[in-house]
Amino acid sequence: MSLAATVAGLMGHEGELLVQLRELLTAEHAALLKRDGVTLQGLSEKKQQLIGKLEAAAGQRARMLTERGLPTDGSGVTALLAQLEPGARGQAEAQWEAIRENLEACHKQNQVNGRLLESSLRTSHELLAILLGHSRESNTYNRQGSLDTTLNGRNYAKA
């Protein structure tokens, strides 16, 4: 197989996986907004599988670069693309740019999802604290430096 065909195959596969991850992260965002735990669980499992496939694809790319004495980062990919014939180089450069764009979009969506999840967890903890009779102002620390979880005040069960 020619270098151009190998590069096109690897980048095409990696690009497809990133498109799938981007779609999955969008679905995850919708499930987070709906607070749909069942869907989130399934998406989490799919995401882990997809990340494993992406790591394997990145590993294949790194091996290809290493075999040619190139660094395994973006500069190595740029150097590899420069070795391709002009016709194949244009397609490979477009694939690499799409990979980079999708990777950036996945990163941004994952950050948004993480902030949304963090906000949801914080709200759940605050509601639980209210039900247990803790107020925000009553959070204190014990001698060991841990949060003192003794109940000060009324809790929902006492009412």
Q: What CATH number did the domain enclosing 97 receive?
A: 1.20.58.300
pLDDT-derived band at 143 (thresholds 50, 70, 90) equals confident
Containing domain of residue 66, as a range? 3-158
| pTM beyond 0.85, yes or no | no
Give dist(CA 102, CA 154) in Å, integer.
Answer: 51
pLDDT > 90? residue 63: yes
Query: Which comes out higher in pLDDT, residue 155 or 96?
Result: 96
Query: What b/e sequence results for 32-57 when a residue is b if at least 16 CB atoms lie within 10 Å of its CB, and e otherwise?
Result: beeeeeeebeebeeebeebeeebeeb
Query: Can you give the pLDDT at residue 107?
Result: 97
Q: To the nearest whole number, what is the mean pLDDT of the chain? A: 88
pLDDT-derived band at 139 (thresholds 50, 70, 90) equals low
Give dist(CA 92, CA 112) in Å, integer.
Answer: 30
Residues 4-57 have pLDDT tens digits of 999 999 999 999 999 999 999 999 999 999 999 999 999 999 999 999 999 999
pLDDT-derived band at 129 (thresholds 50, 70, 90) equals confident
Domain count, the chain: 1
